[in-house]
Amino acid sequence: AGARKKGSGGVASPDLNDSAPSMCWDDDVSHSDGTVRAGSKVSTAEVEAKRQSLDRVRDCCLRALGQVAAEHGGGGGAGTDNKGGGASFAIHGGAAHGVVRCFFLGQPSTTPGDCSFVVSGWPLRLAGMLLDRAKEGEVLIDGLDARGPVSVTEEQGLRTYEDMRRRGLLSSSTSASSPKSLSPSKSSKSSRGGVYLYANAYLGTLAARRVEQSAENALSLLLNELRPVAIVFVGLHCLSNVDPKDSKLLQLANDVFISLTGITHSCNGAVRDMLFEDKGCTFISVFGAHSHEANPCFDATICAMRMQSALSEELELDRFSLGVSFGDCFCGEVGPQTRADYVVMGTEVNMAARLMGKAPNRGALVSKRVYKNARKHVEFVKSEEITVKGKDGSFHAYQPLTRLRRISSRGSLYIFDETHSKALQQPFIPMPSRQGGMKSMMKALHGSAQGSPRLAFVVGGPFLGKSRLIREVADKAGDADFTVLQSFRTSLDSDSSYFPFRQIAEMALQKCAVRVLGMQKPPEDEVAAAKLLLEHDVLKKIDRVNIGSIVPTVTDAQLMSLLKGQNPKTMIKAIVDSLMKVLRPLQPLMLVFEGDGEIDPSSWGIIRELMKRAARECPRLLLVISSRSPLNVPSSATSLLSNCVRVEIRPIDRAESKTYLKVLLGIQDKTVDVDERMLDAIHDRANGCPLFIEYIVTWALDKKMIDYNEEENKMIFTASEDGDGEDVAAVIPREMSNVVLSAFNNMSPMLWDALKIASCIGYSFDADVYESLTESLGLMPKL
Ligand SMILES: Nc1ncnc2c1ncn2[C@@H]1O[C@H](COP(=O)(O)OP(=O)(O)OP(=O)(O)O)[C@@H](O)[C@H]1O
Ligand SMILES: [Mg+2]
Whether 395 and 284 map to the same domain: the answer is yes
Whether 74 and 161 map to the same domain: the answer is yes
Whether 446 and 558 map to the same domain: the answer is yes
Domain membership of residue 735 as a residue range: 654-744
Pick the atom of ligand 1 nearest to 461's CA. 25
Spacing, Cα 466 to ligand 2 middle (Å): 6
Residue nearest to atom 23 of ligand 1 (CA): 463
Residue nearest to atom 29 of ligand 1 (CA): 691
Higher pLDDT, residue 628 or 754: 628
Structural domain count, the chain? 4
Average pLDDT, the chain: 79
**How do residues 422-472 score in pLDDT, each as one tens digit?**
444 567 888 999 999 999 999 999 999 999 999 999 999 988 999 999 999
Domain boundary among 588, 621, 649: 649
Residue 3 pairs with which residues in a beta bridge? 93
Q: Is 462 in the pocket of ligand 1 (CB under 6 A)?
A: yes
Asked, as a colleague might, if the bond just before 588 is cis with ω within 30 of 0, I would say yes
Q: Is 460 in the pocket of ligand 1 (CB under 6 A)?
A: yes
Residue nearest to atom 13 of ligand 1 (CA): 691
Q: Which ligand is nearest to the CA of 686?
A: 1
Residue 410 lies in a domain: no
Whether 603 and 584 map to the same domain: the answer is yes
pLDDT band for 198, please (50, 70, 90 cuts).
low
Spacing, Cα 417 to ligand 1 middle (Å): 17
Whether 607 and 639 map to the same domain: the answer is yes
For range 312-322, the mean pLDDT: 92
Nearest alpha carbon to residue 781 among 242, 85, 308: 308
Whether 498 and 641 map to the same domain: the answer is yes
Whether 394 and 303 map to the same domain: the answer is yes
Domain boundary among 616, 649, 682: 649
As to burial, measured by CB atoms within 10 angstroms (0-12 exposed, 13-18 middle, 19+ buried), residue 250 is middle
Angstrom distance (rounded) from CA 783 to CA 770: 13
For range 604-621, the mean pLDDT: 95
Residue 772 lies in a domain: no
Whether 463 and 437 map to the same domain: the answer is yes
Domain boundary among 649, 674, 693: 649
Residue 453 lies in a domain: yes
Query: What DSSP designation does 87 have?
Result: T
**How do residues 207-231 score in pLDDT, each as one tens digit?**
666 655 544 444 444 467 788 899 9
Pick the atom of ligand 1 nearest to 628's CA. 25
Whether 74 and 212 map to the same domain: the answer is no
Spacing, Cα 415 to ligand 1 middle (Å): 14
Neighbours of ion ligand 2 (CB under 5 A): 467
Residue 575 lies in a domain: yes
User: DSSP string of 450-486?
Assistant: TT--EEEEEEESTTSSHHHHHHHHHHHHHHTT-EEEE
Whether 670 and 682 map to the same domain: the answer is yes
Residue 318 lies in a domain: yes
Residue 674 pairs with which residues in a beta bridge? 715
Q: Is 434 in the pocket of ligand 1 (CB under 6 A)?
A: yes
Whether 237 and 163 map to the same domain: the answer is no
Spacing, Cα 472 to ligand 2 middle (Å): 12
Residue 520 lies in a domain: yes
Angstrom distance (rounded) from CA 419 to CA 472: 13
CATH of the domain at 288: 3.30.70.1230
pLDDT band for 24, please (50, 70, 90 cuts).
very low
